[in-house]
Amino acid sequence: MIDKNLIAMALAEDLQGGEDVTSVSTIAADSVSTADFTARKAGVLAGVEMAKAVLEEVGLTNIVVKKSDGEAISAGEVLLTVSGNTRAILLAERTALNFLGHLSGIATETSKWVAAVAGTKCQVRDTRKTTPGYRQLEKYAVRMGGGTNHRMSLSDAALIKDNHIAAAGGVSEAFSAVRSAFPSAPIEIEVDNLDQLREVLPLKPDLILLDNMTPALCVQAVAIVAGATKLEASGGISLESAKAYADSGVDYIAIGALTHSAVVLDIGLDLRAE
């Protein structure tokens, strides 16, 4: 996936209308080099096409992509190689690495959660807790790590939460209002306890979100719903407890940490010695 607008903004931010004073001072204008983007740590790759597009944006065309998004990578592996003007390579370096490391960090973190629930029907989903402007890219990285996406925007589906219920005067009122205004929109309702679950079940929502419930309560919720709708657990879930939630029988676990807390994967760029 490529976002050219973000690339242009990032490069402009780096130059601030000026030029790279270090490279201009130390490197001849006609200098040519070959450089490798290399993984320093193992993980799952995402953002390689963004890195390639950054290089192309500064005029570099001799680029060889060696690993694809979604692939597991090992420390020391070369991900892509570029040859061309040395100043251009160094101008693109940090922007390309920022995208590559950030998105690969998300894919790598997601893969850990997916592995934790392996063998169950439960799917790992992201949230809207994304970096402003980066949602499409970050949710793409989640998919590269084996996860699935929740709604991309507020217009995709309705998620009736406590504040909506309070504003509408009750959960039934909120549900009816959404169904009336947007008849075809999927509707998810958040509940905090089993009594609320029993209250909303007759409304036949497309999905019910079990907020901050323990795995034991999720087991009871699954039994109460008995397949009438899908269930999603969210809040208070750790990597260590993920399997317990998945084993409860819920269809999804929603994990904000996939995008808001993923550690950047260590990837570097090195000019080859002449």
Tens digits of residue pLDDT in 95-120: 999 999 999 999 999 999 999 999 99
For residue 190, indicate whether it is catalytic.
Answer: yes
Instruction: Spot the catalytic one: 109, 190, 232, 251.
Output: 190
Residues ≥6 apart with Cβ < 8 Å to 156: 186
Question: CATH number of the domain at 115-260, please?
Answer: 3.20.20.70
| 218-242 burial: b if 16+ Cβ within 10 Å, else e | bbebbeebeeebebbbbeebeeeeb
Residue 192 · residue 212 · CB < 8 Å: yes
pLDDT at 274: 66
Instruction: Spot the catalytic one: 41, 66, 151, 161.
Output: 161
Distance CA 255, CA 160 (A): 18
Distance CA 104, CA 49 (A): 12
- For 166-185, the pLDDT digits (tens) are 999 999 999 999 999 999 99
Q: Does 83 score more than 90 pLDDT?
A: yes
Q: Does 47 score more than 80 pLDDT?
A: yes
For residue 204, indicate whether it is catalytic.
Answer: no
Mean pLDDT, range 4-30, rounded to an integer = 95
CA quadruple 19, 23, 28, 29: dihedral sign: negative
pLDDT at 154: 95
For residue 211, indicate whether it is catalytic.
Answer: yes
For residue 230, indicate whether it is catalytic.
Answer: no
Collapsed DSSP state (helix, strand, coil) of residue 81: strand
Amino acid found at 116: A
Residue 273: pLDDT band (50, 70, 90) is confident
Q: Does 138 score more than 70 pLDDT?
A: yes
Instruction: Spot the catalytic one: 129, 135, 151, 179.
Output: 129
Question: CATH number of the domain at 4-104+263-271, please?
Answer: 3.90.1170.20
**CATH 3.20.20.70 in the chain, residue ranges:** 115-260
Mean pLDDT, range 61-67, rounded to an integer = 98
**Percent of the chain scored above 70 by pLDDT?**
100
Residue 269 · residue 96 · CB < 8 Å: yes
Residue 130 · residue 150 · CB < 8 Å: no
Distance CA 156, CA 125 (A): 15
Residues ≥6 apart with Cβ < 8 Å to 127: 150, 234, 254, 255, 256, 258, 259
pLDDT at 254: 98
Q: Does 224 score more than 90 pLDDT?
A: yes
**CATH 3.90.1170.20 in the chain, residue ranges:** 4-104+263-271
Residue 133 · residue 6 · CB < 8 Å: yes
Instruction: Spot the catalytic one: 41, 66, 67, 94.
Output: 94
Mean pLDDT in the chain? 97
For residue 67, indicate whether it is catalytic.
Answer: no
Residue 48: pLDDT band (50, 70, 90) is very high
Instruction: Spot the catalytic one: 57, 188, 211, 232.
Output: 211
